[in-house]
Amino acid sequence: MNNNIIIGTRDSQLALWQTEWVKSHLQHHLPELQFETEEVKTIGDRILDIPLSDIGDKGLFTKELDVALLQNRIDLAVHSLKDLPTILPDGLTIGAITERWDVRDAFISKHGKNLAELPENTVIATGSLRRKAQLLNYRRDFKMVDIRGNLNTRFRKFDDSNWDGMILAVAGIERLGWADRISEKISMDVMLPAVGQGSFAVVCRENDSRILEIIRNINHRPSEIAATAERAMLRTLEGGCHVPIGAFAQVSGQQLHISGCVASLDGSRLLRTEMDASITNAEHTGFTLAKELLKMGAGEILAEISKNEAQSK
């Protein structure tokens, strides 16, 4: 039996941090195994001069790792769960979802202010349509600019710019030890996170029972249940990673609470609802929440976004 396990990962500092976390925790459970890292550059890492939403691919940060798995060049791949499409390629499955970190988004200010204290027409950078739409719903006077790249690149661009603020995920900032840059952890009353934000997913071949058994050692069941509900909501809305959809599900005992939202790109419309259910019905709960959002008019918002995207290409 081969005791050498190859873990595929993107080559950004945050991706490598996540992979080292997975490697060390698997090594703790299975000290007899050897884990190696294989770095892969994805299309989302290579194309940095245009917004993600303009590239139009749901596997921007995953496709090359999927191919490596299907070609048996790696045994498992580590992803930020929020980057993972809701439908994986045939032959692949999520083997584990790690315990969720802080799910909120962070506001980084050059002037030490929080969102409520900012003057009119403040310029804020974000690469996320979800963040942009919810922030404009909160304050229509904000001026939004696009920013791309890994965390190191974004901080460098921000520090060299005349922008006033920037929005990033709390989890990534804290994992890399930069918590002191956070001016405010944004309330979820203002901004719901991306589906799966705060966890990472370990993907493998669905017929590889040995690897599946290995990586289940680091699965966190409450986070898996929450992710199942959120991803079912996103899948039902037929939204990818780059549409203004937010969600947050949380397990408490045997109960699951989920909130979800869909917003127009300019923030003029924001539909939001929530519900409670048993943890045994996580997927159906996400589906039901999505259907409720569609009844409220989410379909029209998403159709308008798709139409605008098609016209801009």
Q: 168 has which bridge partners?
A: 106
**CA 133 – CA 108 distance, rounded (Å):** 18
Contact 139, 159 (CB under 8 A): no
**CA 167 – CA 145 distance, rounded (Å):** 11
Question: 282-296 and 298-312 are packed helices; what angle lies between their axes, rounded to 10 degrees?
Answer: 80
Catalytic residue, from 11, 45, 57, 83: name it.
83
| Residue 297: both structure tokens together | 């008019």
DSSP structure string for 115-166? GGGPPTT-EEE-S-HHHHHHHHHH-TT-EEE---S-HHHHHHHHHTS--SEE
- Tell me if residue 189 is catalytic: no
| CA 220 to each of CA 55, 82, 96, 281, 284: distance values in angstroms, whole numbers, following the listed order | 33, 16, 7, 17, 20
Q: 134 has which bridge partners?
A: none
| CA 203 to each of CA 93, 113, 145, 155, 233: distance values in angstroms, whole numbers, following the listed order | 6, 40, 33, 29, 20
Active site residues: 83
